[in-house]
């Protein structure tokens, strides 16, 4: 497969915890579990204050088709159900459970009965699994393809291209058999003709582990890919493994592909074989301010601070704390924020690593264009945004931006291009909403005028 030149950037590797097997942290005194840990509608609490709950017990039901159930990660008593401020700046309902320290498993935990594609998708939904690589899209919706003949390839994402993050690496090394069982489930119930495991080739131990796992499996191949960020981006991975391009405004299935994170796939297999839904995560804890970086097995809802404490606390004052990696991670204002379903890492950086350089004038070097994996023109998008030229933003395909940060990383002037791209997408969305509202108003007026004319007749 001869593809054109790959775009992206070479980011520092810094996989300090790649060789560290996950260790389980002590049961925290309490967990606070948000009802929205995924794209789509938030879950609806199914418990009330004072209820006693056990590990694996349902505490919130899906709030719609694109939603996901939530389960207790500790045994204990529901202390409160109230609004909490999320890292997005929005308030969301959250259930706080006071732990009894016993981790008693709920009696209803048992493997689901899976016999066909419908019961398989139902089981995936009941598992509570969402995209565990950071995206957070409910997996049952992604796998619930109406016409299975559309699925020409499932791509298992093991790229893990962000610096520092190694939770997927540990899945590929420690849970290879669960990944294998997950692939077998996809082959059995979705009739997948081809499965490609994509891994950056700077993780040779993972490539070997996955090739050993896939040995003898029909229709399964492991591809060692160039270590070029953002190799793990869905559209980028599809192109680099199949040569296909996902059209603007379309989904991966329109290119005949479904992409699933390796840890997500392992979690589905675990649920179908054991009946234990998603209640805990392996989280990479690292960064220049962390005393003892580790991969930590943490209950969902545990505070970031409890994980940092388990890793020896801070060796210097943290000036920035992130969910996820340094390229696409989300900064948080407090270490009391909880581990969520899609939390693959929490990073804390000291002042030297946290302070952003002062941007200077654009020198028209074109490095942002050369770096963009989707062949966009970030400097031109910035200029159009500054002029609030929405038509120009549309013609530059600003909505295609995946906010990977390659443009800002490559920019010698240190301009905040990715942040501007995000604002540009918001401007387009606002203009679309305005035009829709105007079109709806005109449609209502036309309908009202037609009724009046009919009444006159």
CATH of domain 280-354: 3.10.20.600
Domains 23-274 and 280-354 share a fold: no
Q: Which residues pair with 286 in a beta bridge?
A: 347
Query: What topology is assigned to 23-274 in CATH?
Result: Rossmann fold (3.40.50)
Domain boundaries, the chain: 23-274, 280-354, 360-457
209-237 mean pLDDT: 96
Looking at residue 454, what is its pLDDT?
A: 80
Question: What does the mean pLDDT of the chain come to?
Answer: 95
Q: Judge whether residue 4 has pLDDT over 60.
A: no
Looking at residue 59, what is its pLDDT?
A: 98
pTM: predicted TM-score of the whole model, two decimal places: 0.93
Looking at residue 457, what is its pLDDT?
A: 67
Q: Judge whether residue 1 has pLDDT over 70.
A: no
Q: Is 160 buried (19+), middle (13-18) or exposed (0-12) by CB count in 10 A?
A: buried
Looking at residue 106, what is its pLDDT?
A: 98
Looking at residue 38, what is its pLDDT?
A: 87
Torsion of CA 164, 168, 172, 175, to 10 degrees: 130
Q: Which residues pair with 97 in a beta bridge?
A: 31, 78
The DSSP call for residue 130 is B
What confidence tier does 20 reach under pLDDT thresholds 50, 70, 90?
Answer: very high
Looking at residue 449, what is its pLDDT?
A: 87
More confident: 87 or 168? 168
Whether residue 345 has a cis bond before it, omega within 30° of 0? no
Q: Which of 283, 261, 312 is nearest to 166 (CA)?
A: 283
Share of the chain above pLDDT 70, in %: 99
pLDDT tens, position by position, 167-213 = 999 999 999 999 999 999 999 999 999 999 999 999 999 999 999 99
Q: Judge whether residue 99 has pLDDT over 80.
A: yes
Looking at residue 452, what is its pLDDT?
A: 82
375-387 mean pLDDT: 97
């Amino acid at each position: 497969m001869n593809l054109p030149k790959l775009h992206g950037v070479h980011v520092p590797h810094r996989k300090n915890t790649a060789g560290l097997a996950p260790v389980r942290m002590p049961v925290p005194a309490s967990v606070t579990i948000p009802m929205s840990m995924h794209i789509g509608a938030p879950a609806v609490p199914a418990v009330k204050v004072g209820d006693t709950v056990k590990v694996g017990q349902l505490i919130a039901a899906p709030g719609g088709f694109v939603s996901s159930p939530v389960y207790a990660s500790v045994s204990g008593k529901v202390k409160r159900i109230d609004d909490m401020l999320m890292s997005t700046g929005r308030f969301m309902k959250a259930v706080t459970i006071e732990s009894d320290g016993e981790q008693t498993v709920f009696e209803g935990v048992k493997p689901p009965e899976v016999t066909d594609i419908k019961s398989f998708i139902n089981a995936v939904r009941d598992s509570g699994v969402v995209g565990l690589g950071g995206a957070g899209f409910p997996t049952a919706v992604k796998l619930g393809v109406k016409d299975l003949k559309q699925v020409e390839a499932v791509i298992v994402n093991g790229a893990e291209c962000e610096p520092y993050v190694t939770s997927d690496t540990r899945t590929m090394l420690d849970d290879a058999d669960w990944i294998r069982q997950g692939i077998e489930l996809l082959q059995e119930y979705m009739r997948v003709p081809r499965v490609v495991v994509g891994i950056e080739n700077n993780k040779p131990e993972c490539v070997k582990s996955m090739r050993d796992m896939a040995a003898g499996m029909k229709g399964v191949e492991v591809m060692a890919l160039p270590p070029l960020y953002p190799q793990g981006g869905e559209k980028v991975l599809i192109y680099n493994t199949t040569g296909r391009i996902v059209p603007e405004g379309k989904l991966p299935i329109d290119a005949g592909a479904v992409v699933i994170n390796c840890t997500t796939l392992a979690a589905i297999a675990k649920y179908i074989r054991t009946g234990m839904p998603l209640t805990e995560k392996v989280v990479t804890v690292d960064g220049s301010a962390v005393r003892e970086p580790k991969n930590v097995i943490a209950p969902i809802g545990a505070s970031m601070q409890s994980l940092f404490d388990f890793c020896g606390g801070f060796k210097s004052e943290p000036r920035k704390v992130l969910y996820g990696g340094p390229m696409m991670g989300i900064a948080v204002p407090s270490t009391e924020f909880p581990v969520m379903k899609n939390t693959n890492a929490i990073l804390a950086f000291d002042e030297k690593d946290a302070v952003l350089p002062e941007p200077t004038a654009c020198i028209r070097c074109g490095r942002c264009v050369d770096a963009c994996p989707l062949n966009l023109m970030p400097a031109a998008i910035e200029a159009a945004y500054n002029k609030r030229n929405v038509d120009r933003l549309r013609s530059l395909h600003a909505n295609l931006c995946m906010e990977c940060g390659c443009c800002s990383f490559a920019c010698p002037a240190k301009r905040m291009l990715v942040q501007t791209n995000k604002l540009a997408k918001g401007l387009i969305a606002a203009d679309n909403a305005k035009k829709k509202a105007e079109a709806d108003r005109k449609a209502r007026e036309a309908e009202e005028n037609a009724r009046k004319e009919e009444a006159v007749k």
